[in-house]
Structure 1
Amino acid sequence: RGPQRSRDVDSILREVDELQAKEIVLVAQDLASYGKDRPGELGAGSIVPLVRAVSAKVPRTRLLYLYPSDLTDELIDAILASGVPYFDLSLQHVSKPHLRRMRRWGDGERFLRRIADIRSRDSQAAFRSNFIVGYPGETEDDHDQLLAFVREASLDWCGFFEYSPEEGTYAVDLPDQVPAALMHERIAELRELQDAITAAKRDDLIDEVVEVLVDEPGVGRSHREAPQIDGIVRVPESLATGSFAKVRIVDAEGPDLVAEGATGAAGDREESSGAR
């Protein structure tokens, strides 16, 4: 709650050193706006040198919660070089009129072009987003646009959340509140669609060899899975916690993958992934 406050770069890098982790997760209310609240010391665009500095210290640097309006080419390049080509984009919706009601930037066509551009740079890039369903004024056409976008974008992961009015907010007194029953119906339709997309993308990985970071005995993650919010890769329990290993995917169980056999394991020292 409250305004975003950017930490000093040095304090972040000291914490990275103290954690001695294999993967660091950078997260904020609006991560790409890091530094804008301290223009004299940090300034706009400071997230890029921060990502590069962290990436120089650890094998994996993962960024969570990016607004698409601040996703510059320079930031995309930094993410693709971070060891984790994973883009967590807070899109919220795709209908241009509805996004303006929400006081948000962008539209579905712009988002699709940006996603396609990233995929052209790295075909293995993974994507997550989140969407609000039932914000006041959402029409059937708005909902249909969101369904079409989810189908075409084919993101790895999506979260859908029903709008919930909060006293003191801009939206609480807006007209055309969406009935709860209709919100439930819309969100169920979206989740069913995304579940099928996620399952298909996971099936596509069967027989592929991927590199995982072992978080605990029997549980690993490739760059495609953020800790605690996405699926996992089930790996042989013999793999050391904190190690990297290349494993072959042999099955998919919903959002989770099953892997066997490991080659090229590296960094077998026992430690947690240390995601922060």
Structure 2
Amino acid sequence: MPKPTASVVNLGCRVNRVESDRISEDLLRIGFELTGEQDADLVVINTCAVTGEAEAKTRKAVRHALGLPRAPRVVATGCAVSLHADALAALSERVSAEPDKTRVAALAARLAGLDPDAAPFGRSGFVSGRSRVGVKVQDGCNNRCTYCIVWKARGPERSVPVDEVVEQVSAVCRAGIPEAVLTGVNLGAYDGEAPGGRRADIAGLIEAILGRTDILQLRLSSVEPMDADASLARLIARSSGRVAPFLHLPVQSGSSSVLRRMGRPYDAAGFERLVARIRGELPQVAVSGDLIVGFPGETDEEFAESLAFVERVGFSRLHVFRYSARPGTPAAEMPDQVDPRVMAERSAAMRALAERCALRDAASRVGTVERAVIEYPGRGTLGSFHRVSVEGAGDAPAGSLLEVAIMGVDGDGTLRGRAVRQLG
């Protein structure tokens, strides 16, 4: 009897990506074969609702799946489903809305006539040959940023117990995967149950992972600026390279007045002091960030403040987003919404500056030695998250971890390196 086929479509953030990977693994375990959408009997869509545009993409993705030649069943899950399950289910009798992602595989099994507990094809764990795996340790957010609906879609903050995280990272090690990426909606707010009835913050979790697993490299996906401090940088510095020297700090604006309207609990000067303290403890750190242009009321002067701020901070990479109003948030009702044409101009200017900053950061690494995870023959990603081409890597397969001497940088920001030794 042929296996039923399934395709998992991911929309949205890094946490969604990790959850989609887990859904894929669960579908394999219970007996599905993963395929492209065109050949799928079942399409799972992990939705996003961070902006109104994201919700429109969700509806478009569902309609696209419904129109495929095999007329698949569609299971919608994720943030948009948490907010509007009935509206998505009403698109067709072939659509099922399941807000709980941990129950998607069981629903898929029922739709396909499989036993979700039988695991008839014996597939479990991670796909071998991967270079990194995300490990979700936290969900939900207690912040109330004026542009954001995620706290409603994801609910309050909650954390995975330390022992469960350690076991997940141990599974990554057993699969021969060198890098585990800790992810969460608000990762820095981690507050998990630890052995002995204690609680662990994100630093305590990292220490437990380093002490109880053989993971070669641990990476933090994103930490809110209010949850990052010099002590976290000191912990990374003391890890002997096992924690990647990389911090993604979603600053959102370089103008203090815009930050106040966003409801962010810091100002631009405070963020700059934070970065200075972090670099004082961990000079080789790569600091990346997220930044929104065109927030309601953003003036030319405030945008100029953001440009100057980005230049001073010197981000290793910067994800630039145009503001997109999310119905149901205070920002969507604010006066002085910025003209889309102005937003486009500001986005182009900020992206150009971000590219220059990334090139400067890459060039500053020439003459140093970093760890690199190999993803393709002779190419990989450094601990600082820069791309690197590696000479002398030999037959090192995808998933290898190498020490690499950085020798130069190409015009597109790709570093050139020479393999020093293989780790692990």
TM-score bin, normalised by smaller chain: 0.7 to 0.9
What is the count of residue pairs matched by the alignment?
Answer: 258
Q: Is 2:338 the partner of 1:201?
A: no
Distance 1:209 1:84, change over 3 A: closer
1:110 maps to what in 2? 270
Query: 2:370 and 2:227 mapped to 1: Cα distance?
Result: 30
The range that moved more, 248-257 or 58-67, is 248-257
- SS of residue in 2 equivalent to 1:19: helix
Match of 1:130 among 276, 290, 305: 290
1:265 aligned counterpart, secondary structure: strand
Q: Which of 242, 247, 260 is equivalent to 1:87?
A: 247
Say yes or no: does 1:68 pair with 2:228.
Answer: no
State how far apart, in whole Å, the 1-side matches of 2:191 and 2:368 are: 40
The question of whether the paired residues in 1 share the 8 Å contact of 2:229 and 2:277 is answered with no
* TM-score, length basis structure 2: 0.57
- Write the deviation string for residues 86-140 of structure 1: whole angstroms up to 9, x where unpaired: 1110111122221111111111111111111111112111110111111111111
Higher fraction of helix = 2
Q: Which runs of 5+ in 2 are unaligned?
A: 1-152
Q: 1:18 aligns with which of 171, 186, 189?
A: 171
1:223 and 2:223 correspond:
no
CA RMSD of aligned residues (A): 2.2
CA drift of 1:259 comes to: 2.1
Aligned position for 1:211:
371
Q: CA deviation at 1:147?
A: 0.5
In the other structure, the counterpart of 2:124 is none
Task: State the SS of the aligned residue for 2:231.
Answer: helix
Q: Partner residue of 2:347?
A: 187
Post-superposition Cα deviations, 1:45-76, rounded to whole Å, max 9, x if no partner, equal 62111111122322321112211112234333
| 2:187 aligned residue (5, 21, 31) | 31
CA contact (8 A) 2:188 2:224 kept: yes
Cα distance change of structure 1 residues 95 and 7 upon mapping to structure 2, 3 Å threshold: same
Which residue among 408, 418, 424 is the counterpart of 1:251?
408
Q: Say yes or no: does 1:2 pair with 2:154.
A: yes
User: What is the alpha-carbon distance in structure 1 between the residues aligned to residue 238 and residue 417 of structure 2?
Assistant: 26
Partner of 2:396: 240
Cα distance in 1 between the residues matched to 2:322 and 2:237: 32
Say if 1:49 and 1:37 are closer, same or farther in 2 by CA, change over 3 A: closer
Q: Deviations over 1:145-186 (max 9, x none)?
A: 110111111111111100101221221111110000111111
Task: Report the counterpart of residue 228 of structure 1 in structure 2.
Answer: none
CA contact (8 A) 1:214 1:239 kept: no
Distance (Å, rounded) in 2 between the aligned partners of 1:264 and 1:102: 47
Distance 1:239 1:233 in 2: 16
Corresponding letter in the other structure for 1:176: D
Distance (whole Å) between structure 1 residues aligned to residue 245 and residue 329 of structure 2: 35
Work out the percentage of aligned pairs sharing the same amino acid.
Answer: 30
How big is the shift at 1:239? 4.4
Q: Partners in 2 of 1:159 and 1:19 — Cα distance?
A: 28
Distance 2:207 2:318 in 1: 27
2:201 is matched with which residue?
46
**Structure with bigger gyration radius:** 2
In the alignment, the residues of structure 1 paired with residue 233 and residue 420 of structure 2 have an alpha-carbon distance, to the nearest angstrom, of 30
Residues 247 and 65 (structure 1), Cα distance of their counterparts in 2 relative to 1, 3 Å cut: closer
Per the TM alignment, residue 190 of structure 1 is displaced from its structure 2 partner at its CA by 0.9
Residues 161 and 192 of structure 2 are in contact (CA less than 8 Å); yes or no, is this contact kept in structure 1?
no
Partner of 1:272: none
Where does structure 1 lack aligned partners over 5 or more consecutive residues? 226-230, 268-276
